[in-house]
Amino acid sequence: MSRVVLRISAGFLVGALVLLATALWLSDHYLDEGQRLSAAGDVQGAIGATRTAARLDPFGTEALETQASLFTQQGRYDDAAGSLKEAIGRDPHNYIPNLMLGNLQLNELDQLDGAAQSYRNVLRLNPKEGHVREALGQVLIEQGKLGEASDEYEKERDEGHLSFQGLYDLGRIYVRTGKPHEGLNAIQRARERGLKGVHELEGQPLKRERWQLLTSMKLAIADAYVVEGRYTKARKTLMESHSPHAPALLQLLKSSPDAYRESVLTSEIY
């Protein structure tokens, strides 16, 4: 009798494994179909295919991640967030949906608290995602939490992975939080790094964007000099600047250095 029960149990197990394998195969098929429909411009059809793929594979997250991307293309940001939260619920140890959710919350939903938490989740799951730490720093800056943002940038700097844009942000934080000398050094180093390879950038838009950023850095250097009280250096820096804002800042420096200093300390970084 026990052998009969064992054979029946084994038969059920084999049947269950076959059904699971078939479901996973069909899930991959519908996921591929969704990608084909998306490439053909049928986004709504692609969303339907990913829904089917997600139902057939109740443990995977790829179909839900794809679905979220498709929703984002349509401007259906709340639906995209819902898909990503479902993916996180399926696999809490997968940092990818957390990263996608954080980007969505920051760029489309204006949910800074949510974006900060999503990025923290990514770093908890994958501490080596350095660019996420910079993204978290940007969120904290927008929240006005300059001290916390500084901590995140410093961690990335100490590990040797901070980008020149991140170093620039850190420098401006220092200038506004009572460390103008450290801020000046950071901004100057950021500008030196930004200058390297600028002529090798492909395409005029990228080069133009980089030169605009470098021009802004020049003004930020002048700002740091003003906060330090080194007005002669600030004046010389502004006179060398090609920014259309430089003449007005020179006039402000001449008429009221204290007002210039206060405007720097109270200005937003973003």
| Runs of H (alpha helix) within the chain | 2-39, 43-56, 62-73, 77-90, 95-107, 112-125, 130-142, 146-158, 164-176, 180-195, 204-228, 231-240, 246-255, 257-266
Per-residue pLDDT reduced to its tens digit, 95-149: 999 999 999 999 999 999 999 999 999 999 999 887 999 999 999 999 999 999 9
Structure tokens at 234: 């600030």
Per-residue pLDDT reduced to its tens digit, 166-176: 999 999 999 99
Statement: residue 14 has pLDDT above 70: no
The pLDDT assigned to 5 comes to 44
Statement: residue 18 has pLDDT above 90: no
Q: Is residue 162 part of a domain?
A: no
pLDDT category, 27, cuts 50, 70, 90? low
The pLDDT assigned to 50 comes to 77
Q: Mean pLDDT over all residues of the chain?
A: 88
Q: Is residue 90 part of a domain?
A: no
Statement: residue 186 has pLDDT above 60: yes
Q: Is residue 202 part of a domain?
A: yes
Per-residue pLDDT reduced to its tens digit, 199-214: 888 888 999 999 999 9
Q: Is residue 199 part of a domain?
A: yes
Per-residue pLDDT reduced to its tens digit, 48-64: 777 877 787 788 898 89
Residue 246 structural domain: 185-270
Contact criterion met (CB below 8 Å) for 235 and 253 = yes
Q: How many folded domains does the chain comprise?
A: 1
Residue 205 to residue 236: CA distance in whole angstroms: 29
Statement: residue 70 has pLDDT above 90: yes
pTM: 0.83
Statement: residue 2 has pLDDT above 70: no
Residue 44 to residue 37: CA distance in whole angstroms: 9
Structure tokens at 82: 């819902």
Q: Is residue 255 part of a domain?
A: yes
Fill in the DSSP letter of residue 215.
H
Q: Is residue 163 part of a domain?
A: no
Q: Is residue 269 part of a domain?
A: yes
Burial class for 105, CB neighbours closer than 10 Å (0-12, 13-18, 19+):
buried
Q: Is residue 217 part of a domain?
A: yes
